[in-house]
Amino acid sequence: MNLHRIRAFNLSRIFKLFLSSCFVGVKKPDAGIYRLALQLTQQEPARCVFIDDRALNLECAGNVGMQTIQFQTASQLAVELRRLSIEA
């Protein structure tokens, strides 16, 4: 299902990396998945933005130092990304 979504929505044109719990064996809200994302991207936490609709997942990403955005609507997300100088 995960690969289907990536292909169906052409997500590879937007994202360079997909970290799926079904492939890596650790899932949100375990801090290990956020640390793995940081290791794989070789980025400082403050340079990363984690987007999710669940408060607990956002809290855990924030605890490792990532910026967070709670997804509500596509237009709200676009506004939040622009606020961070990220063009969607």
d(CA 48, CA 67): 6
> Does residue 61 lie in a domain region?
yes
> Does residue 37 lie in a domain region?
yes
Q: Render pLDDT for 4-60 as a digit per residue (tens, 0 to 9).
A: 999 999 999 988 888 888 889 999 999 999 999 999 999 999 999 999 999 999 999
What is the CA 23 to chain-centroid distance, rounded? 16
> Does residue 51 lie in a domain region?
yes
Q: What is the pLDDT of residue 87?
A: 79
> Does residue 88 lie in a domain region?
no
**Domains held by the chain: number:** 1
Per DSSP, helices labelled H in the chain are 2-8, 21-24, 31-41, 55-63, 74-83
Q: What is the pLDDT of residue 88?
A: 62
Structural contact between residues 69 and 88, judged by C-beta atoms closer than 8 angstroms? no
- 12 token code pair: 């590879």
Domain CATH code at residue 19: 3.40.50.1000
Expressed as residue numbers, the domain containing 54 is 2-83
Structural contact between residues 59 and 66, judged by C-beta atoms closer than 8 angstroms? no
Q: What is the pLDDT of residue 1?
A: 85
pTM: 0.84
Reported confidence tier of residue 75, pLDDT bands at 50, 70, 90: very high
Q: What is the pLDDT of residue 69?
A: 97
> Does residue 15 lie in a domain region?
yes
35: how many CB neighbours lie within 10 A of its CB? 13
Q: What is the pLDDT of residue 41?
A: 94
> Does residue 30 lie in a domain region?
yes
